[in-house]
Amino acid sequence: MGRGMTLIELMVGIAIMGVLLAVGVPSFQSFIASNRVTGSSNDFVSSLALARSEAIKRGSRVTMCKSANATSCTTAGNWAQGWIIFTDTVRSSTDATVDSGETILSSVLATSGNIVMAGTGGVANFISFAADGQAKQMNGSSQAGLLRVCSTSSALSDARRAREIEITASGRVATTTASSIAVTCPAPT
């Protein structure tokens, strides 16, 4: 004859399972949030590399800008809403927007998982590469800046909540764990 579980054995089992879940779930949430920050950073850096290589390959300016609709640039919101890469060949263009005759080379849709991506002055709305691969403003002056990719998740410690992407005037891109306060992250939610 089979032996069943007593109520006490069942309660002990449920208590042990509750402790394991209490320990495991926050770690898993932290892991997911950290991976979202890393993934968003990698997507952005890959897009920068594509824009720069296309500018060099085509021998003309290629621009990457914030875009909420995958067809036009915007100055509202942050980079997490998405971005597009386009040939910026119309000589009268001084505003880093997609003009008639310019081709959208790539588009990235909004990031998921409570990610905020904000840039400092020079890279707040667009990043443009000249034919020599250097980052340049529309007027031809050097463009450089820092972009911070942040998670608003409270599951991450402050040291793991953000990555910084630095774009130098030469077009070089470097990613580091956030250390400065050039662009602040929103408070965890």
Q: pLDDT tens across 7-43, in order?
A: 888 888 888 887 877 776 666 777 777 788 889 999 9
pLDDT reading at 183 higher than 70: no
For residue 189, the model assigns a pLDDT of 42
pLDDT reading at 170 higher than 50: yes
Which of 10 and 132 is assigned the larger pLDDT? 132
For residue 56, the model assigns a pLDDT of 96
Q: Is residue 56 within 8 Å of 131, Cβ to Cβ? A: yes
For residue 155, the model assigns a pLDDT of 58
Instruction: Sort residue 114 into left (φ over 0), alpha (ψ -120 to 50) or beta.
Output: left
The radius of gyration of the chain's CA atoms, rounded to the nearest angstrom, is 22
For residue 150, the model assigns a pLDDT of 85
Q: How many CA atoms lie within 13 A of 114 on its CB side?
A: 19
Q: pLDDT tens across 40-87, in order?
A: 999 999 999 999 999 999 999 999 999 999 999 999 999 999 999 999
pLDDT bin (cut points 50, 70, 90) of residue 92 is low
Beta-strand ranges (E) seen in 67-125 are 82-87, 104-109, 115-119
Mean pLDDT of 130-147: 92
Mean of the per-residue pLDDT values of the chain = 84
Question: What tokens were used for 170?
Answer: 């030469």
Q: Write down all domains in the chain, each with its CATH number in brackets.
A: 8-177 (3.55.40.10)
